[in-house]
């Protein structure tokens, strides 16, 4: 790549970390060429200037911000700041196992360390990221000024230290080379200053005209006090302007349901630690952004024993939540209401309030009837300890019915309580987008600012927001100067940016100051870990501030002032503030529990709706991409879907019976063939037809086409996620956004889907085990053949005398298959993404994988209704490791603490170790997967872990870098490493605590206790590998009434 | 050897002169059209091999179809196949020499050359199949300043020693055997350049009694050295599998079964090559039906041993009671996605050679050609069955996956085949395809016997 300035270090570019977002250093840039606008002239730095005006963006420069390569144009203070980054990179460079030599670059030490920073040691900051109005409390690790890992904030109950894959992947988006970096006007680069001045003049003009009557802001739902204040200040300038909230996968049904039930909008807060019996109705509550707490609580109550909860799940698709339930009933999404009403009718015998709500329910016989009877009985028997959770896809009525049932079961105040919602405006669904689109089409909008995520893509078949926006942008471009304005703001130049007059690149959450409310109402503070990598980007508060001419003000000052005002100026503010920042949360800001009384009358007036006849199309948010906003995250594209194990695609998920009914050939149920071609169906809703590849997933309801939203992106900026999968929004109806009647036809087309795991017959191998609770006391005997010391001729090495004998235990009972461990490992251990083609050839690099098996038996688990069990597999760290003795060059050996170490430097790549690994946890670098990383992507690598080159084998190390860090820390103070001081990345990410790690020579350690558990077994015990990892059998708590005797 | 076959080992009344004329004839003749026509495409194939290796080194092992769990695919399948093919040469040269099987004399030279070229083809695979071939030398036990040496427990290291020894001894044996003939070429040639080149390589051979005495002794010693190698090399190669614990690999029967298989495929390759070559080179008066008849008997015998090996593998899978073994042998192999490789292997290796119970079939050119090629295919399939089928479904069903070779896999395989045949062609062109001195000696014995002897 040619750099415009030749006296730079070749091939390697450091991003400019700007201090205050001003353009001061731009003055040092080379003289710019003439461009269209008077503003551009003086602000283009050489990179753009060189390529202007012929091409607005240098195609080669896409990865680097203006001025990125200009070391000599960087202010001295900036230069010093860069050192941190370069130090870290040096770690990456020198640490790489082989291949490319370190970049020739001058590396200077800090003259004086910045406060709190010791080079080589990590720093942790609490902050927050939000998605569709839900805030996730996070703790971010930074190395030498570079954030490298996201974990849950352990000091906040909604996270309890865990973070899901989506939250963790935030690191990748920070360093995503495809991020938007430049302000655009009509697709051409423009100066930020020009934008700010345009905003200022337009605000003045429109305020004068009619007080901003035609000004609309389309925002994400939010409860942020700062944003609320800034919005109020915008409204001071433009009193007639309006803010509209929209997100594609919204909680509005839930909120409207509460309004129906209680007369006002309330947010349910479930306490699953008190739930003996729980029913999830189309509710995948275990897949919860920003709320690992509910998963944790669920898991706590799933501990095998007396108090173990019983979990029923009803819904159209086998999701994570359904897969871990004790009983599952497959029903169409549109049939949930009928089912709930039928259930209420059964429960309502002595409850006059409830009885009217039970009318209009469905008739259920046979298996379903038995399920209903047993469920009703169980709920009644456990009144006060029973809870019903209704999914957000269900209509407000179903939510209201659910709240009523919970109330009558004595759940309110016990298993569920109600608080004020965490967002200010709860009208967040399609209705608000539709109204806004109508307004635009009616010509009532003069200025539109879109900060909501990508509504041109996250649209409805009957609400073409993108077209309206395009028209508005075109008319704004033609209108007299500064009388109209269309602006969108986002991390990427997406579909909405493409049809907006102006586009403003967003600062990443890890680069921004702000605040947000978690689901429990507590206010989380957002503090940046790094200066914005790209000078032109703006945070949401900065963008709003531009409307009252304060965009250039320090965002920290804005935030602090806002809070100072809110709590009343007190002399201790700074120390209070520092305390909040440290914990990431404003003290005692959580919402208090409200008194909630059900208004049975209103609910009973709601007419019962009938389920959809024929085929139902059931749309949902994707486990990985949510509504599509993470489509450029290669981590998320590649992490296997928890249930289907699909990567890099979405698909129509059908039950085996449905596939049979459609006479689909070559589906994935059965033995694999050489080529994995999947059939394609045509799904028609109204006028629109979509062709969808089919993935057959047992456990789904019949006649339902389950389809995740968020794929098939076309945004120009998002190259990794572009044109992958099918865009399900094309079929989405604003009136029935989740469940809609559809025509489904088989086609002769095929499509290649790639999964990390096929469906195979397990041949009754004792791999992933589960047992009913009734057998808990027999576990010891039943697992005898999988435990103990395997017979051997060799004298095994005695590890009982060493100080530390590291071991792991994975409790299958707690695993939900959520994949947080995979992403945590990927971030911690610099695991590369390989792409669809390579995954197709089974070359994915995950050090930990989550295997998913289906269970059928002679009883109620059938091919249509299988049990599911997920099993995370890491390196088992065998004491007699089969991989070690076959390596011809001693590249994998045993440490004295019994870990199976991998010496990348020594590995020549014969792959014999992998062949001989019975767990197949070793991963080989078939290509130089890390070789193509851009400079900015390299910033996200963990400097503690070698970045592996091509031709080298790698595998789970039990996070040996974390062990060594703890060893140094405790050796320094002369102590033994205490239990719990080391957490492996997967353990830390796991929301249910399924993974335990520690010293097996310490009988009191958590892992020792788990190894002593009656449910413990070794995987492939008979091979005599003596794994250091033990699995604990999953226990199911089925209702005896539902088990065939 | 009793006279079961009516065809003699040397046809017609031959003298030293007629043998010199007929056996060296091809070396002196200008290259025929057929030779040129064959060499062109074969050289193109060698070019393809070179390009595939370049491509492999440029991008990494990922250009092949290997994956996890199938860490070894065409690379090791072809390695074992080629090593096996080499075995006939050593067996014919060494063991049959020690057992004084006179019929070996006219085919040993070509068989040894075949061994060398097959070993060269084989070596390309383990050399380039590593992720970082530029560090292959770490497998050698040199005094390393890194303080790490090779790991002597690894069968791959045993391979390094076994195959390198095998290659070296085979080369020496072949070369030592060539010396008298090189001298003969030197003496007969009319070209000065050829005289110099052959002269250098004939190491000053004058054919004196002492030369012959030393040569005989050396040749015999090398034969004794080679003999254990026939058994050891493929035993060691089989350890690559047997020492691991993968179902389908972990079997004590592997060493003898692999050796038998190697001899089986090696002889099949000798027949495949020498059947047309003896005609084309005009040496079918010294490589007669009798030779082929004998080789076919060896093929039949080793084929039976291989079949017995298969039977034993299946028996042990059942007898061991191991779920992994029985699934592999009774489910995956015969019914899995690669079932046709398995059934093809059984047909080629167990059924096809049964024709050789009949003398007529053993002497039919058509049958011989078809069966020997089938055996070569069958033995390739056997390696595929052992390596890929075992790997693609191992212990945990979640790791199971398919293996599909890429164009580089196939290109490299075709490339080594072309390399092999190119080398054979050049060998036939520049060196006598028959051990002339030995044949003359044998002819002398035959003539003496015909005259009634002394």
d(CA A367, CA B171): 77
Residues A890, B149: C-beta atoms closer than 8 Å = yes
d(CA A629, CA A825): 22
Write out chain A residues lying below 8 Å of B404, CB-based.
Answer: 674-675, 841
Residues 380-399 of B with CB under 8 A from A: 391, 393-399
Write out chain A residues lying below 8 Å of B388, CB-based.
Answer: none
Write out chain B residues lying below 8 Å of A853, CB-based.
Answer: 397-398
Q: Which of A673, A951, A953 sits opposite B337 (nearest CB)?
A: A673
Write out chain B residues lying below 8 Å of A874, CB-based.
Answer: none
Write out chain A residues lying below 8 Å of B130, CB-based.
Answer: 908-910, 951
Q: Which of B61, B69, B246 sits opposite A951 (nearest CB)?
A: B61
Say how many residues make up chain A: 1045
Contact B71/A at CB under 8 A: yes
Nearest Cα to Cα of residue B10 among B272, B278, B266:
B278
Instruction: Count other Cβ atoms within 10 Å, centred on residue A972.
Output: 8
Written in H, E and C, the secondary structure of A712-766 is CECCCCCCCCECCCCCHHHHCCCCCCCEEECEEEEEEEEEECEECCCCCCCCCCC
Residue to mutate among A910, A954, A1031, with most B CBs inside 10 A, is A910
Residue of A nearest to B403 (CA): A841
pLDDT reported for residue A834 = 92
pLDDT tens string B62-120: 999 999 899 999 999 999 999 988 887 787 777 777 777 777 777 888 888 898 999 99
Q: What angle separates helix B108-129 from helix B155-188, to the nearest 10 degrees?
A: 140
pLDDT tens string A566-616: 887 677 888 888 888 888 888 888 899 988 888 888 888 888 888 888 999
d(CA B139, CA A908): 9
Residue of A nearest to B154 (CA): A886
Residues A890, B327: C-beta atoms closer than 8 Å = no
Residues B138, A953: C-beta atoms closer than 8 Å = no
Write out chain A residues lying below 8 Å of B70, CB-based.
Answer: 842
Residues 236-255 of B with CB under 8 A from A: 240, 243-246
| Complex prediction ipTM | 0.92
> Which residues of chain B are modeled with pLDDT < 70?
1-6, 451-454
d(CA A903, CA A893): 8
Residues B397, A767: C-beta atoms closer than 8 Å = yes
Residue of A nearest to B325 (CA): A763
Q: What angle separates helix B365-384 from helix B339-346, to the nearest 10 degrees?
A: 140
Nearest Cα to Cα of residue A901 among A822, A949, A958:
A958
Q: Which of A672, A851, A889 sits opposite B398 (nearest CB)?
A: A851
- How many A/B residue pairs have CB atoms within 8 Å? 178
Q: Which of B148, B153, B324 sits opposite A906 (nearest CB)?
A: B148
Contact B453/A at CB under 8 A: no
Q: Which of A98, A763, A950 sits opposite B327 (nearest CB)?
A: A763
The answer to whether the predicted template modeling score (pTM) of the entire model surpasses 0.95 is no
d(CA B431, CA B438): 15
Kind and range of the H or E run holding B254: helix B254-280
> Which residue's structure tokens are 């001419």?
A549
> Which residues of chain A are modeled with pLDDT < 70?
1-108, 569, 666-676, 716, 759-763, 858-860, 1044-1045
Q: What is the Cα A1039 distance to its own chain's centre?
A: 33
Residues B323, A764: C-beta atoms closer than 8 Å = yes
Write out chain A residues lying below 8 Å of B62, CB-based.
Answer: 838, 841, 843, 926-927
Q: Which of B66, B160, B245 sits opposite A882 (nearest CB)?
A: B245
Contact B150/A at CB under 8 A: yes
Contact B149/A at CB under 8 A: yes
Write out chain B residues lying below 8 Å of A916, CB-based.
Answer: 244-246
Residue to mutate among A647, A842, A846, A906, with most B CBs inside 10 A, is A842
Alpha-carbon dihedral angle through residues A98, A103, A105, A108, given to the nearest 10 degrees: -30
The two beta strands, A995-999 and A242-245, are: unpaired
pLDDT reported for residue A183 = 92
Residue of A nearest to B326 (CA): A763
Report the percentage of chain B scoring pLDDT > 90.
Answer: 41
Nearest 5°: CA angle at A25, between A24 and A28? 120
Residue to mutate among B127, B131, B246, with most A CBs inside 10 A, is B131
Asked if A461 and A732 touch (Cβ cutoff 8 Å), the reply is yes
Report the percentage of chain B scoring pLDDT > 70.
Answer: 98
Distances (CA, A) of A2 to A6, A12, A45, A571, A812: 8, 11, 16, 55, 53
Phi, psi of A679 (to 5 degrees): -70, 160
């Amino acid at each position: 790549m040619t750099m415009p300035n030749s006296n730079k270090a070749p091939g390697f570019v450091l991003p400019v970390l700007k201090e205050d977002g001003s353009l001061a250093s731009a003055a040092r840039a080379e003289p710019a060429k003439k461009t269209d606008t008077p503003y551009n002239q003086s602000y283009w730095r050489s990179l753009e200037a060189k390529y202007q005006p012929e091409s607005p963006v240098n195609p080669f420069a896409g990865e680097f911000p203006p001025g990125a390569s200009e070391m000599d144009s960087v202010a001295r203070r900036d230069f010093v700041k860069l050192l941190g980054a370069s130090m870290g990179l040096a770690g990456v460079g020198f640490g790489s196992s082989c291949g490319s030599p370190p970049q020739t670059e001058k590396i200077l030490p800090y003259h004086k360390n910045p406060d709190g920073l010791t080079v080589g040691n990590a720093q942790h900051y609490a902050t927050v990221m939000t998605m569709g109005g839900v805030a996730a409390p996070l703790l971010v690790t930074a190395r030498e000024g570079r954030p490298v890992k996201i974990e849950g904030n352990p000091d906040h109950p909604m996270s309890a230290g865990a973070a899901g894959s989506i939250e963790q992947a935030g690191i990748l988006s920070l360093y995503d080379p495809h991020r938007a970096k430049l302000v655009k006007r009509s697709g051409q680069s423009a100066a930020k200053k020009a934008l700010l001045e345009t905003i200022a003049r337009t605000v003045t003009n429109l305020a004068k005209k009619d007080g901003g009557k035609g000004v609309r802001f389309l925002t994400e739902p939010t409860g942020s006090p700062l944003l609320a204040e800034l919005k109020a200040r915008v409204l001071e300038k433009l009193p007639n302007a309006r803010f509209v909230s929209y997100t594609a996968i919204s909680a509005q049904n839930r909120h409207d349901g509460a309004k129906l039930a209680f007369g006002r909008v309330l947010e349910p807060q479930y306490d699953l630690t008190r739930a003996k019996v729980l029913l999830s109705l189309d509710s995948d509550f275990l897949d919860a952004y920003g709320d690992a707490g509910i998963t944790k609580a669920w898991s706590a109550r799933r501990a095998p024993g007396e108090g173990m909860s019983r979990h029923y799940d009803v819904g159209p698709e086998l999701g994570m939540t359904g897969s871990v339930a004790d009983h599952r009933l497959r029903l169409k999404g549109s049939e949930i209401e009928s089912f709930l009403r039928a259930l209420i009718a059964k429960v309502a015998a002595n409850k006059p309030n409830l009885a009217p709500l039970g009318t209009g329910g469905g008739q259920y016989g046979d298996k379903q009837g038995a399920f209903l009877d047993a469920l009703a009985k169980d709920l009644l028997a456990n009144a006060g300890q029973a809870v019903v959770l209704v999914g957000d896809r269900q209509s407000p009525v179903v939510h209201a019915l659910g709240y009523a049932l919970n109330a009558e079961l004595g759940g309110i105040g016990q298993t569920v309580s109600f608080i004020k919602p965490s967002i200010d405006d709860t009208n967040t669904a399609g209705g608000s987008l539709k109204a806004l689109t109508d307004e635009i089409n009616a010509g009532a909008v003069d200025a539109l600012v879109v900060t909501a995520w990508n509504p041109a893509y996250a649209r409805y078949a009957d609400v073409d927001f993108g077209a309206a926006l395009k028209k508005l942008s075109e008319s704004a471009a033609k209108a007299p100067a500064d009388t109209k304005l269309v602006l969108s703001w986002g991390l990427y130049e997406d579909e909405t940016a493409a049809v907006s007059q102006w586009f403003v690149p967003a600062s990443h959450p890890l680069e921004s100051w702000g605040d947000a409310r978690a689901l429990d109402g507590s206010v989380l503070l957002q503090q940046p870990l790094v200066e914005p990598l790209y000078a032109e980007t703006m945070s949401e508060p900065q963008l709003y501030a531009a409307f009252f001419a304060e965009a250039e003000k320090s965002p920290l000052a804005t935030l602090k002032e806002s809070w100072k005002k809110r709590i009343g100026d007190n002399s201790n503010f700074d120390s209070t503030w520092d305390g909040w920042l440290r914990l990431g949360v404003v003290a005692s800001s959580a919402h208090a529990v409200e008194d909630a009384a059900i208004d049975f009358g209103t609910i009973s007036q709601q007419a019962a709706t009938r389920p959809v006849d024929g085929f139902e199309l059931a749309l949902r948010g994707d486990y990985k991409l949510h509504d599509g906003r993470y489509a450029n995250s290669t981590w998320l594209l590649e992490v296997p879907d928890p249930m289907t194990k699909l990567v890099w695609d979405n698909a129509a998920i059908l039950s085996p019976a449905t596939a049979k009914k459609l006479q689909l050939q070559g589906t994935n149920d059965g033995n694999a063939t050489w080529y994995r071609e999947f059939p394609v169906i045509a799904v028609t809703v109204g006028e629109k037809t979509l062709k969808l590849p089919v993935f057959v997933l047992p456990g789904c309801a019949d006649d339902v086409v389950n389809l995740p939203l968020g794929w098939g992106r076309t945004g120009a900026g998002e190259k990794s996620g572009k044109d992958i999968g099918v865009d399900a929004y094309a079929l989405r109806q604003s009136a029935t956004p989740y469940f809609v009647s559809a025509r489904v036809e088989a086609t002769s087309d095929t499509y290649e889907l790639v999964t990390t795991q096929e469906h195979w017959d397990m041949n009754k191998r004792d791999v992933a085990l589960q047992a009913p609770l009734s057998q808990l006391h027999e576990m010891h005997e039943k697992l005898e053949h999988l435990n103990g010391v395997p017979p051997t001729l060799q004298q095994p090495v005695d590890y009982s005398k060493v100080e530390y004998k590291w071991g792991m235990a994975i409790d299958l009972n707690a695993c939900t298959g959520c994949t947080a461990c995979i992403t945590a490992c990927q971030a911690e251990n610099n695991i590369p993404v390989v792409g669809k083609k390579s995954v197709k050839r089974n070359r994915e690099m995950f050090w930990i994988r989550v295997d998913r098996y289906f269970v059928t038996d002679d009883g109620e688990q059938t091919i249509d209704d299988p049990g599911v069990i997920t099993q995370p597999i890491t390196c088992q760290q065998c004491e007699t490791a089969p991989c070690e003795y076959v390596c011809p060059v001693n590249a994998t050996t045993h440490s004295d603490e019994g870990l199976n170490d991998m010496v990348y430097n020594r590995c020549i790549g014969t792959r014999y170790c992998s062949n001989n690994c019975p767990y197949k946890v070793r991963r080989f670098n078939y290509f130089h997967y890390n070789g193509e990383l851009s400079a900015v992507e390299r910033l996200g690598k963990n400097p503690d872990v070698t970045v592996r080159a091509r031709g080298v084998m790698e595998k789970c190390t039990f996070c040996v870098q974390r062990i060594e860090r703890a060893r140094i820390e405790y050796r320094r103070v002369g102590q033994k490493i205490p239990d719990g001081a080391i957490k492996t990345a997967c353990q830390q990410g796991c929301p249910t605590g399924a993974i335990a790690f520690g010293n097996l020579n310490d009988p009191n350690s958590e892992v020792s206790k788990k190894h002593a558990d009656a449910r413990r077994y070794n995987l492939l015990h008979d091979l005599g590998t003596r794994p250091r990892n033990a699995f604990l059998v999953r226990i199911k708590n089925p209702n005896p009434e539902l088990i065939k005797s | 050897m009793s006279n079961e076959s009516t065809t003699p080992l040397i046809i017609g009344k031959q003298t030293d002169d007629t043998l010199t004329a007929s056996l060296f004839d091809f070396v002196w003749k200008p290259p025929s059209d057929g030779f040129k026509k064959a060499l062109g495409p074969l050289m193109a194939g060698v070019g393809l091999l070179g390009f595939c290796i370049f491509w492999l080194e440029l991008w990494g092992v990922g250009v092949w179809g290997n994956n996890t769990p199938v860490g070894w695919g065409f690379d090791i399948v072809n390695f074992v196949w080629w090593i096996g093919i080499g075995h006939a040469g050593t067996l014919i040269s060494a063991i049959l020499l020690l057992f004084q099987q006179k019929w070996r004399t006219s085919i040993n030279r070509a068989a040894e050359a075949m061994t060398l070229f097959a070993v060269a083809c084989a070596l390309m695979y383990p050399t380039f199949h590593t992720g970082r071939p530029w560090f292959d030398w770490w497998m050698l036990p040199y005094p390393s300043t890194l303080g790490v040496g090779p790991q002597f427990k690894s069968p791959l290291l045993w391979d390094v020693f076994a195959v390198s020894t095998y290659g070296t001894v085979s080369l020496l044996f072949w070369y030592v055997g060539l010396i008298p003939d090189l001298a003969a070429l030197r003496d007969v040639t009319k070209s000065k350049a050829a005289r110099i080149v052959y002269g250098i390589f004939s190491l000053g051979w004058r054919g004196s009694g002492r030369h012959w005495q030393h040569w005989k002794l050396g040749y015999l010693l090398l034969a004794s050295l080679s003999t254990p190698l026939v058994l050891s090399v493929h035993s060691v190669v089989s350890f690559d599998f047997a020492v691991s614990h993968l179902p389908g690999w972990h079997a004590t029967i592997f060493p003898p079964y692999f050796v038998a298989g190697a001899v089986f495929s090696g002889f099949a390759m000798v027949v495949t090559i020498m059947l047309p070559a003896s005609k084309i080179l005009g040496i079918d008066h010294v490589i007669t039906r009798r030779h082929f008849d004998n080789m076919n008997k060896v093929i039949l015998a080793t084929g039976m041993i291989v079949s017995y090996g298969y039977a034993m593998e299946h028996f042990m899978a059942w007898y061991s009671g191991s779920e992994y073994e029985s699934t592999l042998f009774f489910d995956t192999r015969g019914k899995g996605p690669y079932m046709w490789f398995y059934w093809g292997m059984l047909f080629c290796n167990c059924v096809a050679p049964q024709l050789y119970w009949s003398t007529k079939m053993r002497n039919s050119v058509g049958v011989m050609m078809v069966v020997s090629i089938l055996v070569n295919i069958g033995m390739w399939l056997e390696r595929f069955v052992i390596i890929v089928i075992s790997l693609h479904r191992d212990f945990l069903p979640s790791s199971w996956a398919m293996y599909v070779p890429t164009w580089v896999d196939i290109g490299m395989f075709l490339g080594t085949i072309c390399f092999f045949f190119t080398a054979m062609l050049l060998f036939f062109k520049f060196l006598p395809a028959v051990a002339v001195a030995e044949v003359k000696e044998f002819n002398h014995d035959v003539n003496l016997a015909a005259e009634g002897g002394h």
